[in-house]
Structure 1
């Protein structure tokens, strides 16, 4: 079965930098809570903890099977168990900007920027930029991962049951394989 992507692919703005844009069906304050409230963030990305100030370290607790109920295929078997990751808040300006380290709290870690802007009363434009990715393999991995996670966020905000996280991730990975340099 072939899965069609629901949203446009992100763009590689330069080597090691990915940019994705989505219009989400919720006011900016509601979308913001899905970034910073660990219980809400758990529904589309990862639970854990959240630091509220620049420099604060927090834990991302990935439980991918809980996102849509779909068990990871064999090549992602390691993600059938909880995966923990520490990150650091680099900038926070509620409710429009969150910048975090990714995969490490070290200064040389890659970083993710979430920029939110209202689109009328009932929608929010999200621009996600992931910078300092070390190579094509990592860029491909995070591109497909962010794409699938943002699909889940879109479903959650629409009040729909997220469908097939891993199925969507594999479809996104195939699309990005021809899209990423």
Structure 2
């Protein structure tokens, strides 16, 4: 069992190309589940896309990261304003577990565990193909999960792209080469 008083916001490699991040979020668990599975709520922190919640259920994530910040900002060079990815549900056990195929970049599992009035969210991204992708994905998940925490607490977002760029540099220094 995880000691939630010492959660590190940074992701850790639990295998050479498998990243795990954890966040404590205000419950109840069904509320956090909604932010993972409902397109409108998920679009406030990650990507939109109607998801059929059954194994094999196909869906498309659509990212509009420029819209995640409450104020305009410049995006890093080489990153598109909109990005989409076809995917499918691999495993689902509401409201505790959701695994989805992550396009060509492995799969992602979201695990929710009630902890009193809070919920421990564990995100595990498996089979990342290379170090560059690992750094982008690590910074991306970190920034998106921080934004999820802001959204579920009713706060205002900070600069998404500035945070993503800073976090990419941080992960480059933190993760083994």
CA RMSD of aligned residues (A): 1.3
After superposition, residues 1-181 of structure 1 pair within 5 angstroms as: 8-68=9-69, 69-78=71-80, 80=81, 82-104=82-104, 109-120=105-116, 122-181=117-176
Runs (5+) with no aligned partner, structure 1: 1-6
- TM-aligned CA deviation for residue 92 of structure 1: 0.3
The one-character-per-residue Cα deviations of 1:33-62 (angstroms, maximum 9, x if unpaired) are: 000000000000001211111001101010
TM-score (structure 2 length as normaliser)? 0.90
Distance in structure 1 (CA, Å) of the matches to 2:73 and 2:55: 35
- TM-aligned CA deviation for residue 25 of structure 1: 1.8
Distance in structure 1 (CA, Å) of the matches to 2:36 and 2:175: 26
Contact preservation (8 Å) 1:10, 1:19: yes
Contact preservation (8 Å) 1:100, 1:113: yes
- TM-aligned CA deviation for residue 83 of structure 1: 1.2
Contact preservation (8 Å) 2:99, 2:107: yes
- TM-aligned CA deviation for residue 74 of structure 1: 4.0
Distance in structure 2 (CA, Å) of the matches to 1:10 and 1:41: 20
Distance in structure 2 (CA, Å) of the matches to 1:87 and 1:167: 28
Contact preservation (8 Å) 1:70, 1:165: no
Contact preservation (8 Å) 2:97, 2:111: yes
Distance in structure 1 (CA, Å) of the matches to 2:76 and 2:136: 16
Runs (5+) with no aligned partner, structure 2: 1-7
User: Per the alignment, in what secondary structure is the counterpart of residue 45 of structure 2?
Assistant: coil
TM-score (structure 1 length as normaliser)? 0.88
Contact preservation (8 Å) 2:91, 2:97: yes
Distance in structure 2 (CA, Å) of the matches to 1:37 and 1:73: 26
Question: Would you identify which runs of 4 or more consecutive aligned residues in structure 1 move more than 4 Å?
Answer: none
